[in-house]
Amino acid sequence: MSEAAPRRLRQLGEISVGQLRLVGAKRLEALASLGIETVFDLLTVYPRRYIDRTRRAELADLSVGEEAAIFATVTANSSRRTRQGKSMVEVLVSDGDEAMKIAFFNQPWRGAQLAPGIQAIFFGKVSDFRGQRQMANPVVDIIVGPSGEERDASRVGFIVPIYPASGKAGLTSWEMGGFIEQSLRRAGPLLDPVPQEVLDELGLVSRTDSFWGIHLPSTMEYIIEARRRLVFDEFLRLQLLLALRRRRLVATAAGVQHPIADDDLSVSPGALVNPDSRLVRQFLAGHRFTLTGAQQRVLGEIAADLRSPLPMHRLLQGDVGSGKTVVALTALLAAIDGGRQGALMAPTEVLAEQHVASIRRDLEGLVVRDEAVLGGVRPLRIQLLTGRIKGKERTSALAALADGGIDIVIGTHALLTDDVRFAALGIVVIDEQHRFGVEQRAQLRDKGRAHSLEGRDPDLLVMTATPIPRTAAMVVFGDLDRSVLDELPRGRQAIATSWARTAQAEQAAWQRVREEVAAGKRAYVICPLVEGSEKIEASSAVEERTRLATQELRGLSVGLLHGQMKSGEKDAVMDEFRRGEIQVLVATVVIEVGVDVPEATVIVIEDAWRFGLAQLHQLRGRVGRGHDPSYCVLLGEPSTPDGATRLEALVSSSDGFALAEIDLDLRGEGTLLGSRQRGQSDLRLANLRRDESTLQQARSVALSLVELDGLASRPDLVDELKLFVDEEEADYLFKS
């Protein structure tokens, strides 16, 4: 590494850690096992904590059971053998005020290593030994030698960073810190790609200072500033990628302007219509209910997108039961009003079929203009298209899609497979697909255009009932516009949720099931989640059904639904349940999303703590869909404190967004983000809860930089982003 121009991060990403002093084959391998291959990787391994050597009360603060790193001076040591014949070295350490014993077993050399006078960091768990605090076999980093010479004077500041690698892979925190410091020194000043005005305005420190400040801070206060800048950069890169992607979509768009008037959205049931009225108006005027304020607002947002020549790219978020379907139908009808077709994709075939049945009911009686038929009008046609539609039926469905004889097609995301052609696909609605990543969404648009003979981009509406906190949404759905249904239809019954912790309470739960069934209602029983094995999960559901049918629920008609059943079997069971021939449905988590049986009023969830909070909320949403009071009973004794917190949260709140925030706190963002989305793996320091305001700032900076000229005048930023995307994507995003 030479001391020339300020260095770019991408250059550091091209330098192997093997080039560092003291990194030989063995260290190289150890670092690689931690995923550290380049100097950039190394610099983004951040300290897990810091020890402030200016603070003297370390030892006094420690409590038993705590994992801690203490900085202390050895005052005495002795070696002996335990009764079992193990070697034991006992070291007495002091931080000036307090003393503590540290024991090393089977490490006889510690006696010579840890001579009195040595100052070191001891990292381990504090235990209780005969009423006294002690540590056994901690990780040791020697900082100051026995005669007072510092191990590396230049490196021993008052604040000592502790790196996560300690103990693992045979790399101590001290070594890690050494490599990092060496990298920083040899790299010299780092190029700052963020415009100085932005840094000034937001009060952010320079890039060089941020890396030095996080790794080699001179004060604890400075760490906060350094961290804030690094977090800003992580968010900025991610938001730039999202904004660029969006800009690309817009630049290459060939969208459709759908005819939809605000006038037609504000009609109430019973409003006047005539045969010339648009379908949207006829539908809303003839519907069972008046839209909620939230539904009207959201439809206004969607209508503006639909009218615009740019394809809609919108996320509709609404809690379970908030009424997303009617919004989706209105949007689909707007496309049909313009002479085009719509596609609705559900996550499973069962849900697709359920949608077909209920949507046919909802749209009954509507007619569309069609020159090809006698009289010029025909009934609006809705077609199911899943893997189960085969042979002649499929052939004729495909033909009708290609010549425009089908208006709405409903299926799974396999809908846009090779053999499906639309005459003119105007809109795609994706229901309950929060697991779709940003790339899949982009792909979908390309496919939509490719499969439409008209060759235009369909508008896209993604719907999800999984409440995602606003910050997380900015990261996960940052490429989409967002609408939120934040109001439930009136008259909705709250779902009384309880956690049955005693045998008595559990019996009461089964009694509740019997009572509801006796009153003509239906019940779900959800079997425990078996992580990683759908087979075991299914067989335990089979057993549970038998048990319940012969014991607690004897005499009732108890059905079974699990993931290993064929889709035909599943549908048959769902139909029987809907009709009431099955009164109690024992199911695995396959019913998590969307299943809608208004007569179901009780759901019993076994071993509830095994489920995530969002999932529990979804499951609970299977009941309370009609007009009758509904119940959710949670069973099981959690084996983790988090499990108990989840159940308590569910009992005390029915607000999906509040629960999502709690979930984010409990699980961290990792589970939400996964590694699916580019740039997200870059979020190492950032914490969505804690750093919300920094995220907002980064997002608005990213949007304005990209809006200006697509980063054409910011080659340094473009260069840096290349660290996080592959070549193909870089070509796509950065070509001018």
Binding site for ligand ADP (CB under 6 A): 289, 291-292, 295, 318, 320-326, 465, 489, 596, 625
Which CB atom, from 11 or from 322, has the smaller least distance to ligand ADP?
322
Least distance from C-beta 291 to ligand ADP, angstroms? 5
- What's the distance, CA 659 to chain centroid? 14
Question: What's the chain's Rg over C-alpha atoms?
Answer: 31
Q: Count residues contacting Mg ion (CB under 5 A)?
A: 1
CA–CA gap between residue 175 and residue 482 (Å, rounded): 47
Which CB atom, from 111 or from 594, has the smaller least distance to Mg ion?
594
Going from the C-alpha of 186 to that of each of 2, 179, 192, 638, the distances in angstroms are 8, 11, 17, 52
H helix runs in 286-437, sequence order:
293-307, 324-337, 349-362, 391-403
Token output for 399: 């033909």
Token output for 276: 């010339």
Which CB atom, from 432 or from 661, has the smaller least distance to Mg ion?
432
Least distance from C-beta 619 to Mg ion, angstroms? 14
Say which amino acid occupies 578.
R
Say how many C-beta atoms besides its own lie within 10 A of residue 252's C-beta: 12
Cβ-count burial of 301 within 10 angstroms (0-12 exposed, 13-18 middle, 19+ buried)?
Answer: middle
Which CB atom, from 95 or from 431, has the smaller least distance to Mg ion?
431
The residue with tokens 């006696």 is: 111
CA–CA gap between residue 715 and residue 707 (Å, rounded): 15
Least distance from C-beta 295 to ligand ADP, angstroms? 6
Least distance from C-beta 420 to ligand ADP, angstroms? 25
Token output for 259: 């005819």
Stretch (H or E) spanning 424: none
HSE on the CB side for 194, CA within 13 Å? 26
Least distance from C-beta 489 to ligand ADP, angstroms? 3
CA–CA gap between residue 496 and residue 630 (Å, rounded): 6
Site string for Mg ion, 592-621 (x = CB under 5 A): --x---------------------------
Binding partner selected for residue 630 from ligand ADP, Mg ion, none, CB under the kind-specific 5 to 8 Å limit: none
Least distance from C-beta 320 to ligand ADP, angstroms? 5
Which CB atom, from 172 or from 325, has the smaller least distance to Mg ion?
325
Query: Are 246 and 313 spatial neighbours (Cβ–Cβ below 8 Å)?
Result: yes
Which CB atom, from 299 or from 326, has the smaller least distance to ligand ADP?
326
Binding partner selected for residue 47 from ligand ADP, Mg ion, none, CB under the kind-specific 5 to 8 Å limit: none
Which CB atom, from 324 or from 521, has the smaller least distance to ligand ADP?
324
Least distance from C-beta 349 to Mg ion, angstroms? 16
Which residue is closest to ligand ADP by CB? 323
Least distance from C-beta 656 to ligand ADP, angstroms? 10
Least distance from C-beta 463 to ligand ADP, angstroms? 7
Token output for 263: 């006038």
Which CB atom, from 193 or from 594, has the smaller least distance to Mg ion?
594
Stretch (H or E) spanning 538: helix 534-550
Query: Are 171 and 34 spatial neighbours (Cβ–Cβ below 8 Å)?
Result: yes
Which CB atom, from 521 or from 625, has the smaller least distance to ligand ADP?
625
Dihedral, CA atoms, 109, 113, 115, 120, nearest 10 degrees? -130
Which CB atom, from 119 or from 330, has the smaller least distance to ligand ADP?
330
Which CB atom, from 327 or from 530, has the smaller least distance to Mg ion?
327
Query: Are 215 and 452 spatial neighbours (Cβ–Cβ below 8 Å)?
Result: no
Phi, psi of 431 (to 5 degrees): -100, 135
Nearest to 235 by CA among 730, 715, 682, 720: 682
Least distance from C-beta 626 to Mg ion, angstroms? 15
Site string for Mg ion, 241-280 (x = CB under 5 A): ----------------------------------------
Nearest to 226 by CA among 53, 52, 46: 46
Least distance from C-beta 322 to Mg ion, angstroms? 9
Residues that bind Mg ion (CB under 5 A): 594
